[in-house]
Chain A
Amino acid sequence: MFEMFVSHLINGLQIGSIYALIALGYTMVYGIVKLINFAHGDVIMVGAFIILFLVTGAGIPFIPAVLTAMAGCALLGVLMEKIAYKPLRNATRLSALITAIGVSLFLQNAFLVRFSPNPRPFPRPAISGSLNLFGDVSISYLALVTIVVSAVMMILLHFFVKGTKMGKAMRAVSEDSGAACLMGINVNNTIAVTFAVGSALAAVGSALYASTYPQVEPFMGLQMGLKAFVAAVLGGIGIIPGAMLGGILLGIVESMTKAYISTQLSDAVVYGILIIVLLLKPSGLMGKTTGEKV
């Protein structure tokens, strides 16, 4: 009984840490330009395609392929911002939001036309076997790698944001871009870097996700993107530790619902929790309730 519970917990942590990695992209971008980048989920899809083609097409080993996908997705994020969002920076929030949905549809359909809707097998790395923890409880090496890689990425991000000059610039721009501008910070570059970092993290998330569910198709980012978005809102959108907490919590709740309530209901429970949290604490679990300043 307890051993089953621990296994479900590990499953939850595994998927939850992937949600958290992807949620970071949503929350960082929201924090700095107040935009929900709905195309962020599709960056996952593009990342998976890049890895697929590099590994099966060009015969490049998995890790260098992931690193290339990180660079590719970072570039995609920057281009997305420059082409689609930057011209709308002073437009209403709604116009930017609709544009983000447009970018998402564009990416999905461009890949659909070019690569067909048929799922392709993802060349996941040969990580098999598992580590026995205690009694009958064991953790698969894939789950272990997923959790450790996500944790390392989040720690690196933490030090990047807290300790580096660019990280400080990101915090300053997200708090008051006008004042940041008066400090001599190049606001455009800072925003571009934010998109790049978020998208690179999505590429890592993509590699981990596709290693767990090894299928690549043009709409694979839809569901994953939505879940990660929910995770970001749950933790408090715009707050980096919030995205981490939200993602992991979401993964665990999902895994527990599948195990103890019903597999079909798991999404309903996840979105139900989102609704309840938004009703009780609209700013998210780690958000501070602040009145709109006039």
Chain B
Amino acid sequence: MKLLKVTDLHVSYGAITAVKGVSFHVNEGEIVTLIGANGAGKTTVMHAISGLLKPASGTIEFLKKNISTTAPHKIIAQGLVQVPEGRRIFAKMTVKENLSMGAYLKKAKANDYQEIYSLFPRLHERRRQLAGTLSGGEQQMLAIGRALMSKPKMLLLDEPSMGLAPILVKEIFRIIKECNNAGVTILLVEQNANMALSIADRAYVLETGLVALEGSAEDLIANDDVKKAYLGA
């Protein structure tokens, strides 16, 4: 079943059109990745899906309902949750308070925290610390944990590997895969195409606001153009 379906999406910032007719879909249970260089329009697509930006035209359907003009808090209530680029944790709140913010629309139960702590033991150790004092990797874990607190059907991850040491990137991707195995559908935006393709089922390559290529992750890894442009081979 198509959980998320984006059709002919156009998004502009004033006179500049950043996304010029992007179409893609994500089936239930899949990991799909959008890869592409800086300025290809990946984050813009993510913001449009979450309702932070209003599309100029095109539709975004989640669970067969058009959500392209729905308010962000209503989109989240439907189980479509984003982990934003740059983590955006609440630095002046404790780790636990940050997690409770993730469950803002539900009421967080002790059990919900426990699930996140078992996924990220580091967060348990630091639950009373201010989130601003965490390292970059821990902050990324907190950002993902915070999003999982709402028990989403689908997670949008924007550049989760950004600014992290390679060993932490591996750890983060292992956890993303684990969430997916637990039944959460994933849309992943990445500049680190190697890592993204290694865990994804399917991928779309974005170039200057358009889908340039699409296919299974295996096919794209083998594709010569992709290798040259994104995999550094």
A171 CB contacts on chain B under 8 angstroms: 90, 92-93
Complex Cα spacing A185 to B77, Å: 10
On whether the beta carbons of A186 and B90 are closer than 8 Å, the reply is: no
* A288 to B, closest residue via Cβ: B92
On whether A182 and B88 interact (CB within 8 A), knowing A169-B104, A172-B101, the answer reads: yes
Looking at the complex, which one of B81, B92, B104 makes contact with A185 (CB distance below 8 Å)? B104
Closest CB in chain B relative to A193 CB, distance in Å? 14
Q: Using known A-B contacts A168-B100, A168-B101, A176-B90, determine if residue A183 contacts B76 with beta carbons closer than 8 Å.
A: yes
Question: Within 8 Å CB of A169, what residues of B?
Answer: 104
Interface size on B, residues (CB 8 A): 24
Q: Are B84 and A178 closer than 8 Å at their CB atoms?
A: yes
Which size class do A's interface residues fall under? 10 to 19
- Taking A182-B72, A183-B146, A186-B71 as known contacts, 4 extra A-B pairs with beta carbons closer than 8 A to each other, sorted by chain A number, are A168-B104, A179-B89, A183-B150, A184-B73
Complex contacts, A4 vs chain B, CB 8 Å: none
- Does A156 lie at the interface of the complex (its beta carbon under 8 Å from any beta carbon of B)? no
Residues of A within 8 A of B102 (CB): 183
* 11 A-B pairs whose Cβ atoms sit less than 8 Å apart in the complex: A168-B97, A172-B101, A175-B91, A175-B93, A178-B84, A179-B88, A179-B90, A181-B72, A182-B72, A183-B101, A187-B73
Task: Please tell me if the beta carbons of A165 and B104 are within 8 angstroms of each other in the complex.
Answer: yes
B-contact 0/1 string along A147-185, CB 8 Å cutoff: 000000000000000000100110110011011111111
Asked if B105 lies at the interface with its beta carbon under 8 angstroms from chain A, I say yes
In chain B between 162 and 207, which residues have their CB closer than 8 angstroms to a CB of chain A? Answer: none
Measured in the bound complex, the distance between the Cα atoms of B73 and A180 in whole Å is 9
Bound state CA distance, A51 and B55, in angstroms?
Answer: 48
Q: Which residues of B contact A186 (CB under 8 A)?
A: 71, 73
**Could you tell me if B101 and A181 are in contact, using CB atoms closer than 8 angstroms?**
no
Q: Are A175 and B92 in contact (CB under 8 A)?
A: yes
- Contact assessment for B50 and A184 in the assembled complex, using a CB-CB cutoff below 8 Å: no
Asked whether B90 lies within 8 Å of A182 as measured between CB atoms, the reply is no
Q: B150 is contacted by which of A165, A175, A178, A184 (Cβ under 8 Å)? A: A184
Query: Which residues of B59-116 are within 8 A (CB) of A?
Result: 71-73, 76-77, 81-82, 84, 88-93, 97, 100-102, 104-105
- Indicate if the CB atoms of A184 and B104 lie closer than 8 Å: yes
Residue of B93, B101, B102 with most chain A CB atoms under a 10 A cut-off: B101
Nearest CB in chain B: distance from A162 CB, A: 10
Chain B residues lying within 8 Å of A178, measured Cβ to Cβ, are 52, 84, 88
Q: In the assembled complex, which residues on chain B have CB atoms less than 8 Å from the CB atom of A179?
A: 84, 88-90
- Interface 1/0s, chain A 187-227, versus B by CB < 8 A? 10000000000000000000000000000000000000000
A residues apposed to B, CB below 8 Å: 165, 168-169, 171-172, 175-176, 178-187
Nearest opposing residue in chain B for A176, CB measure: B88
Contacts of B81 in A (CB 8 A): 182
Complex CA–CA separation, A77 to B17 (angstroms): 38
Say how far A236's CB is from chain B's closest CB, in angstroms: 13
Min Cβ gap B163→A in Å is: 14
Determine the chain A residues whose CB is within 8 A of the CB of B52 once the complex forms: 178, 181-182
Residues of A within 8 A of B97 (CB): 168
What is the bound-complex CA distance between A169 and B101, given in angstroms?
Answer: 8
Contacts of B90 in A (CB 8 A): 171-172, 175-176, 179
Q: Which 3 A-B pairs have the closest CB atoms?
A: A179-B88, A184-B76, A184-B105
A180 and B89 alpha carbons, distance in the complex (Å) = 9
**In the complex, which residue of chain B has the Cβ closest to the Cβ of A181?**
B72
Q: Which residues of B contact A187 (CB under 8 A)?
A: 73
| Contact status A185-B88, CB under 8 Å | no
Task: Establish whether residues B84 and A184, one from each chain, have CB atoms under 8 Å apart when the complex forms.
Answer: no
A258–B32 Cα gap in the complex (Å)? 71
Specify which chain A residues have a CB less than 8 angstroms from the CB of B146 in the assembled complex: 183
Q: Which of B50, B77, B89, B104 has most chain A Cβ within 10 Å?
A: B104
Name which residue of chain A comes closest to B50, CB basis.
A182
Are A185 and B84 in touch, CB under 8 angstroms? Answer: no
Q: Are A182 and B92 in contact (CB under 8 A)?
A: no
Query: What residues of chain A lie closer than 8 Å to B76, measured between beta carbons?
Result: 182-184
A185 & B73 in contact (Cβ 8 Å cutoff): yes
Which residues of A are found within 8 Å of B50, using beta-carbon distances?
A: 182
A175 CB contacts on chain B under 8 angstroms: 90-93
Kindly state the separation between the CA atoms of A171 and B64 in the bound complex, as whole angstroms: 35
Chain A residue at smallest Cβ distance from B83:
A182
Q: Write out the residue numbers on chain B whose beta carbons fall within 8 Å of the beta carbon of A172.
A: 90, 93, 101
Q: How close is A191's CB to chain B, nearest CB, in angstroms?
A: 13
- Chain B, residues 28-50, CB within 8 Å of chain A (1/0): the string is 00000000000000000000001
| Chain B residues near A176 (CB-CB < 8 A) | 88, 90
Closest residue on chain B to residue A188 by CB atoms: B71
- With a CB–CB cut-off of 8 A, which chain B residues contact A185? 73, 101, 104
